Amino acid sequence: MQESRRAREATAQRKRMPYVQIETDVWAVMRNSPDVPAAMIYRISDRIQVAKYLVMTWHAEPHRQRMIAMCDSLEHVNVSSS
């Protein structure tokens, strides 16, 4: 019974904040599966040091990842991909 409660809590957390920070400037988007990311978010800086967030499809082979969005904040990433 506790496992199902934990699973429900984890699912609710993913709906509220579906990305998990895995490095300083890298987040995994865990919307569809608790085990495999749907996408990755990378924070980069442009030429004038303004943060941008690149949303990339996830694939085990990095050369198969594709950029699907560029946003100004993590909140904007969450709104634009929901």
How does pLDDT run across 5-51, given as a tens digit for each residue?
A: 766 765 665 565 578 899 999 999 887 777 889 899 999 998 999 99
Spell out a b/e string for 6-44, using b for 16 or more CB atoms within 10 Å of the CB, else e.
eeeeeeeebeeebbeeeeeeebbbbeeeeeebbbbbbbe
Q: What is the mean pLDDT of residues 68-76?
A: 89
What is the rounded distance in angstroms from the CA atom of residue 68 to the CA atom of residue 39? 9
> What are the beta bridge partners of residue 32?
none
3-state SS class at 74: helix
Domain boundaries, the chain: 2-80
Can you give the C-alpha Rg of the chain in angstroms? 14
